[in-house]
Structure 1
């Protein structure tokens, strides 16, 4: 009786072991298949059409029925479809490794029992099923990339470009269940049940993920860095949105999104994603200070109480306005984040020359306009970009300009240095020689006593008002053949200190302003091409005869307001040469007692000012002639036998004129009486 009981117990124990072994094998086989498909294997293949093993490829760790089963060759005649293994669990409920069990297989002289799984050669997995050997060979998925590499322990190559991780040819280990159609196992396989000769699923997956991440980090670092620099703000915004929303990057060919971090289905381990690593965002500059605003490509910080240039990083910025702050220095790195600036306004700050770094402006390769008015500079900043077209350093403390101060500024068109301490003693004659394009120069409110030497050949407009200039020599404008405008008002010039040949031969000089000097007569030897002469605020008491006679095509604008002209100071031929050209004549605020001779002959005169004099009457033919003589008719074909002139405005107010005694023919040539100003008049 006791012996029968023992036999029954042994039989039950054997049956129980068979059931457990069967469950372990099915789970182990399913896991092996999922790992193979994650490497790009097809769902099924024939043992008779196996892909050749990749050269240099290491075989995956075999999963065998016993620790000592070697790698063996399988007869090519044995055929089978590996997908049929999916249904094996339903066909037979037991799995035995005990000797004598029916259905075992023979391979290379060795006995392998039913349900045994082994790898006879690299990337080939076989199964013993009821005496038949069924094998599955790894077939690599085709790659769409220029170059590939074969990671250690893998059957299939991968793209060598880390950026190709988003390509559909590289399949994540986490997506294999979706591609294969397998349903995830509900029963976890304990690591202790795996044979010691094989790697665990967790170890292999961890190794694969580590290798892929390390490779992609090394290969993709440079490319990611270039993309970040090229995309700028857009890249940073995308990265912020990605990090904030915790959303993955979709990959082509996958039906579901991946999360940045996965929890493995077998062991719950936190895993890094197999695709490219998340790029590190560049460090963003702090926001603009209070009082600053942005409009398109311009940042404006006017009167924002800044003490330094704000740290800005925006390569699209072209204009920066920092007017009216308390900035004292400009470091070498101040504009590194905004290298494409074209215009900078730093006016009305407290910037000093020692506070400007020697390379502060060197990075600005596109700078065209630089305004530094109202600071504390004692010399022109060094290393200015050669692209500059306009510089303003008015109202500073500049006390010298040497031959290197303006070097390399060959594109400079406008230079303004007004309100400084410059003079002929501290401005080198070679200071302006590098300026090959300069046409507009302002040196007003300085200490010059003569016209600066070495003016550029290209100069067209020169402003020297509010200096102490006493002389205009013959050599001042020898090389400036293109000069068009000269402004010398508020100086100390006398007519005999202007050399006869100073500017008489200048063919392009059209405007001279000699207001508020010490002139007693209208200067002689004026340029032949002169059109615009301003002599306001001198002590002129005489207009010499024929002084305008040599001018061609003739003077058009003559301003003699606020002088000391009398009736004796204007000769009948004083305006000779300007009769047919003069358009505006200002003789107001003088000491005239009558309307000067010659005005009635000015055929193109439109604006006449005689107000604030001592005029008592207007004779009928002094402004408007009733008819022209025969000689005059021959000279003017436009106005034959007509009494009309082109006068549009006549000012005679603040004189001593009795308007009731004026002749009705005094203003007969004027088109509208509304253009004649006669009131108020002074009381006798």
Structure 2
């Protein structure tokens, strides 16, 4: 056995010396020795010097955090374009004419203004699904957004108004982040969003709940506005709504119609930091209820259970009542039968 090993080594060593290379280099050296090199794809144009276009993912272009102040040239093959965390100030009409295959366009954390976005800048992006424009300086919705959008994030801007024309025809939109703007009224602009499941419009200047909310909403966030009342039958139109947050508003008992929240399907309801004096009736299927920092003066067990027996009891697991005008002594002893799944009640 030893003789065979010595013979093999002696046969390989001269080969290594005479050709001045490792005979096993093909195992760990450049792939070109055996399979040919992995060439960069230049379909539709070269990758700009200021960006990265990985040969292993030739349809993606990474230009994020490069200190860019203007739009780079975009090869037509690109589907995923990352331009976030730059200082880009404008998107001219010509900036994306060669990028008609884009599926994702990430432009959050830039310095875009509404006047500097061309009216036709996004018009040719007929396959765009995600558009991220949050944390810019927009004062209005960009014109002619693609109707193929599924995920639009335009939060943390200075948008004051949303019109029906801004969202018309967006049948595929499922996620809309519009929070932390300066919107005062949305009219019926949301009516067209037939597929919308998540609507985040917290941190605006709304004084009422937007009209004609999409019926397939799953999550609705209205926090940090100035809403003082809710419309009659507010939640009756929804078939899939599970999470609703209306914290940090101006809601009073008078502004909430009877049994507004006594609807099945809700999982979480946040009414904290309002002006409620009573606990509103809720469905026995509700699991998380947040009422802290209101003006509640009485613990009304009937708000949770109208009948209590083996099969009828509240499914509530979280109940926060701290920051109100009640103490633990105000909670009746029989509440343990109704709220048998509640791990703790904070008062």
> Could you tell me the TM-score, scaled by structure 2's length?
0.79
CA–CA separation in structure 2 for the residues paired with 1:507 and 1:468: 27
Aligned to 1:492: 250
Q: State the distance in 1 between where 2:213 and 2:90 align.
A: 32
Cα shift at 1:459: 1.3
CA distance in 1, matches of 2:158, 2:146: 22
Structure 1: gaps of 5 or more residues? 1-231, 237-281, 591-684
Q: CA deviation at 1:537?
A: 2.9
Q: Greater relative contact order (Cα 8 A, min sep 6): structure 1 or 2?
A: 2
* Partner-residue secondary structure (3-state), 1:405: helix
Residue in structure 2 matching 1:432, options 186, 190, 206: 190
Match 1:468 to one of 211, 220, 226: 226
1:418 is aligned to 179
Post-superposition shift, 1:556? 2.4
1:559 to 296, 320, 328: 320
- Residue 398 (1) aligns with residue 163 (2): no
Alpha-carbon offset, residue 382 of structure 1: 1.9
1:481 and 2:243 matched: no
Matched residues in 2 for 1:496 and 1:398: separation? 31
Matches within 5 A, 1:46-195: none
Distance 1:477 1:404 in 2: 26
Query: Which of 244, 258, 261 lines up with 1:503 in the alignment?
Result: 261
Match of 1:312 in 2: 74
Kindly state the Cα deviation for residue 314 of structure 1 after the two structures are TM-superposed: 4.0
Q: What is the aligned counterpart of 2:64 among 302, 312, 319?
A: 302
Asked if 1:380 corresponds to 2:141, the answer is: yes
Equivalent of 1:325 in 65, 82, 86: 86
Change beyond 3 A, Cα 1:528–1:234: closer
**Shift in Å, 1:476:** 2.7
The separation in 2 between residues aligned to 1:402 and 1:330, in whole angstroms, is: 22
Distance verdict in 2 for CA 1:568–1:333, change over 3 Å: same
Q: Which residue of 2 aligns with 1:293?
A: 52
Alignment partner, residue 362 of structure 1: 123
Cα pair distance change 1:520/1:352, threshold 3 Å: same
**Shift in Å at residue 335 of structure 1?**
1.9
Please state if 1:529 is matched with 2:304: no
| Deviation per residue, 1:223-243 (Å, 9 max, x gap) | xxxxxxxxx97688xxxxxxx
Tell me the residue number matched to 2:10.
Answer: none
Query: For residues 447 and 345 of structure 1, what CA distance do their matches in structure 2 show?
Result: 27
CA contact (8 A) 1:548 1:576 kept: no
Question: Pick from 205, 211, 225: which aligns with 1:447?
Answer: 205
Q: Does 1:513 align with 2:239?
A: no
Change in 2 beyond 3 A, CA 1:309/1:369:
same
CA RMSD of aligned residues (A): 2.4
Pick from 108, 126, 148: which aligns with 1:347?
Answer: 108
Counterpart CA distance in 2 for 1:235 and 1:329 is 26
Q: 1:234 to 1:353 in 2, by over 3 A?
A: closer
- 483-492 vs 329-338, which moves further: 329-338
Where does residue 408 of structure 1 map in the other structure?
Answer: 169
Deviation at 1:477, TM superposition (A): 2.9
For 1:441, what is the secondary structure of its paired residue? strand
Structure with the bigger percentage of helix: 1
CA-to-partner distance for each residue in 1:436-469, whole Å, 9 max, x for gaps? 1001000000011221111011112100011111
Q: Which of the two has higher C-alpha Rg?
A: 1
The SS at the match of 1:542 is coil
Kept in 1, the 8 Å contact 2:277–2:295? The answer is yes
2:193 counterpart SS class? coil
Secondary structure of the 2:274 match is: coil
Structure 1 position 502, deviation (Å): 2.1
* Count of residue correspondences: 301
| 2:334 aligned with 1:577 | no
SS at match of 1:533: strand
